[in-house]
Structure 1
Amino acid sequence: MAAKEPKFELKKWFNYQWIVRNVPFFLFLSLLAILYIANGHYADNTIRDINKTTRLLKEQEYEYKSLNGKLMFQNRLSEVAKVVDTIGLKENIQQPIKLTDSTEQAKQ
């Protein structure tokens, strides 16, 4: 006759006393699981915030560059001349007159 193999009894390992004795360990494992899940949510939210801030920064950069280009175009002499022509100002095409001090000429 073949010998019977020893039967693995779950009741022997998982009885009421063992469960009660290991409750603090189970609570610790539960706390670790909760912290792990919370950390994952925090990381996801942080990544979303970083992406949102990056997108807003790029939009601000594009807006700055377009406004700066527009301002540079409007500050050109020809553009300024066009704008002030509508209110009656004209560009001076004569050479400037050099002013001299008459008292300086009399002393020489």
Structure 2
Amino acid sequence: MDKQSNKGLLASVLRGSFLGHPYVVRNLPFVAFLSALGVLAIFWAHRAEQRARQISKLSAELSEVKSEYLEAKSTLMRMGTEGSVRQRAQTLGMIAPKKAPDRINKPQDDAE
């Protein structure tokens, strides 16, 4: 291409006169379709990044909640030991009996 045709092409683009060309008009629906696909691709990429951030945030929150659960579970296990129960009972003024409690048995009926 020579300089004259380049100037003519540039002037045609700047004036917008190429838009009236039959080839451009005939392919306009295809260009609109490609533009719509581009917009959709940008939209779904944005949604994917948003979901990834949300998943990352929820994963961090889940690990925090899991650690709180394990801490509460271990505390509960420690509080349930006999020594711990005895110690808390003594602070309330209760004394552990020296003798184990007697078992009361219900007499069984022969009719059963």
TM score, norm. by length of structure 2? 0.70
Q: 1:99 to 1:45 in 2, by over 3 A?
A: closer
Relative CO higher for 1 or 2, CA cutoff 8 Å, sep ≥ 6?
A: 1
Q: 1:97 to 1:37 in 2, by over 3 A?
A: closer
From 57, 79, 86, the counterpart of 2:62:
57
Which has the larger Rg?
Answer: 1
| Identity %, equivalent residues | 28
Instruction: Give 1:43's aligned amino acid.
Output: A
What does 1:20-59 align with in structure 2 at a 5 Å threshold?
A: 20-59=25-64
Deviating above 3 A after TM superposition, structure 1's stretches of 4 or more consecutive aligned residues are: 7-11, 95-101
Instruction: Give 2:95's aligned amino acid.
Output: K
Q: 1:20 to 1:60 in 2, by over 3 A?
A: same
TM score, norm. by length of structure 1? 0.72
Name the counterpart of 1:86. 91
Aligned length: 93
Instruction: Give 1:40's aligned amino acid.
Output: A
SS of the aligned residue for 2:94 comes to: coil
CA shift, 1:96, in A, is 3.7
Report the Cα distance in structure 1 between the residues aligned to 2:100 and 2:66, rounded to whole angstroms. Answer: 43
Structure 2 unaligned regions, length at least 5: 10-16, 107-112
Instruction: State the Cα RMSD in Å.
Output: 2.6
Report the Cα distance in structure 1 between the residues aligned to 2:42 and 2:103, rounded to whole angstroms. Answer: 81
Name the counterpart of 2:78. 73
Whose helix fraction is larger, Structure 1's or Structure 2's?
A: 2
Report the Cα distance in structure 2 between the residues aligned to 1:61 and 1:77, rounded to whole angstroms. Answer: 27
Report the Cα distance in structure 1 between the residues aligned to 2:50 and 2:26, rounded to whole angstroms. Answer: 38
